A and B are shown apart, each in its own frame.
Chain A
Amino acid sequence: MDNIYISVVEALIFAADDPLSSNEIITAIKAIDGNDISITEEEIEQTVDDLNERYSQNGNAFKILKIANGYIYATKPDHAKYVGFLSTEKSKRRLSQAALETLAIIAYKQPLTKPELESIRGVNSDYTINTLLEKNLITIQGRAETVGRPLLYCTTDEFLKYFGLKNITDLPKPREIEEIMKDEDFIEQKRRIMMSGIEETIENEVENNNDNEPEIEIEDESTPE
């Protein structure tokens, strides 16, 4: 890959609204400069790494994230407080436990039908599914060939972007059942350690935003008042 394409890659990623895949970058470059240009996905990834290295050395406030099968610019976590102040909408809303559970099941089992989902969760999931569909975190992939031809659900690129996953194989690995049994409280403890720091900063953020509610807004399907 010729060095002039470093800034081309930079420009393309910068201008894109959503994560831009290396395929799209290659297509754009070849469409302009001809098919015989030698450029590979690996080279693009290397370019992105180099760019990030340069940004970090210059102390820039942003970097390129590799998520949702593509590349996208994002501001660094250090500035989250300030940027979050201006975009209160996005920093406040979090997914409910029901939504996270449902997403986890769909992510690992996809594509799957609502009855399959509900048999794992043990509860009716109409509301949660609709919420996730609305947020574009899941989508309908088609219909199963089984009786009644139920709808099949799967996750979207928006889902990858939301959780900062590179692609669908980048999902956190579920533990084997035997393993779970060995250390009953392991996850709980780990979670507490991981979350305590994070929750604190989030709460500070929220306070800084002059938010009246001390608690983070959570949508919940199972809380009849």
Chain B
Amino acid sequence: MYKIKLQDFEGPLDLLLFFIKRDELDIYDIPISKITREFMEYLHLLEQLDLEIAGDFILMAATLMQIKVKMLLPKEIDEKGEEIDPRAELVKALLEYKRYKEMSEEFSYLESNMRHYHFRSNFDEDEKQAPNDLNVLLKNVTLYDLIKAFKKAIIEKPAEPVHEIKKWNVTIDEQMEYISQKLDGGKQISFIELMKDLASKIRIVVTFIAMLEMVKAGKIGLRESKSLNDFIIYGFANG
């Protein structure tokens, strides 16, 4: 089994060129079914890999299959009365790509060449510099000055706002249980009374939600109260 690494190919065209070269195929007379099969095999290898790259390959696979189908059909005729080779477009693309691929090798050669030349001020961004003399680094600055400046910077820094996140040990289920207890034995209770004993805001919120849940579940009922902004909670016998 021939194993190929993905990084060896810059794309589907590169891969096709590889097949053509490896099997010494005639680029002007590509055996489409053979190359499509090989291409698909490679695609299966790619399946687990990067989708975007695979996307380009899938497009090529579709193109190959389209060409394969067209090869089976009667040849189309162009306006000059000549047969149109369904592969012509692909061959053109391959040749064009091949041309620039070769040029990139020339560029690679030029690049290697230029690596032997070094321009002036080449060391600008380098870290391998001789450390400067201490007198140059600290011009008329004493250790004491540094400490003073540092302290000043620390003190003058505005206090950062601190956000504290607390975990509330209260759940809707607990509060539903709490409401049930209050109504135990057919008692009624006003909403304000129910909330009266609750220590914190979050507990009130959760209890309120618990109450709504119980109403929804049909376990308790609410009715109008005489006092303003209040109502009476009552339990059902079976609840």
A→B interface (CB under 8 Å): 14, 17, 65, 72-77, 79-80, 83-84, 86-91, 94-95, 97-98, 100-101, 103-105, 107-108, 119-124, 162-165, 172, 174-175, 177, 180-181, 184, 187, 191, 194-195, 198-199, 201-202, 220, 222-224
Contacts and interface: CB of A to CB of B under 8 A. Distances in A.
A73 B120 contact: yes
Interface stretch (B70-78, B98-106, B204-212): B98-106
A163 B110 contact: yes
Given A86-B128, A191-B105, A123 B56 contact: yes
Contact of A87 (B50, B56, B118): B118
Contact of A195 (B56, B60, B109, B128): B109
Interface residues of B, number: 51
Interface stretch (B8-16, B79-87, B145-153): B8-16
Given A164-B110, A202-B112, A121 B126 contact: no
Contacts of B168: none
B198 interface: no
Interface of A, helix, strand, loop or mixed by DSSP = helix
B219 to A, nearest CB: 56
Given A122-B60, A201-B116, 17 more contacts: A72-B119, A83-B118, A86-B128, A87-B126, A88-B128, A89-B126, A90-B118, A97-B10, A98-B10, A120-B100, A121-B97, A122-B97, A163-B107, A163-B110, A164-B117, A181-B27, A191-B109
A84 B102 contact: no
Interface in B51-66: 52-53, 55-56, 60
Given A77-B117, A86-B128, A120-B100, A198 B10 contact: no
B215 to A, nearest CB: 54
A122 B99 contact: no
Given A164-B114, A180-B95, A121 B11 contact: yes
B96 A164 contact: no
Contacts of B128: 86, 88
B108 interface: yes
A86 B6 contact: no
A7 to B, nearest CB: 18
A184 B21 contact: yes
Interface string B35-63: 00000000000000110110110001000
A154 B217 CA distance: 70
A89 B56 contact: no
Nearest to B129: A86
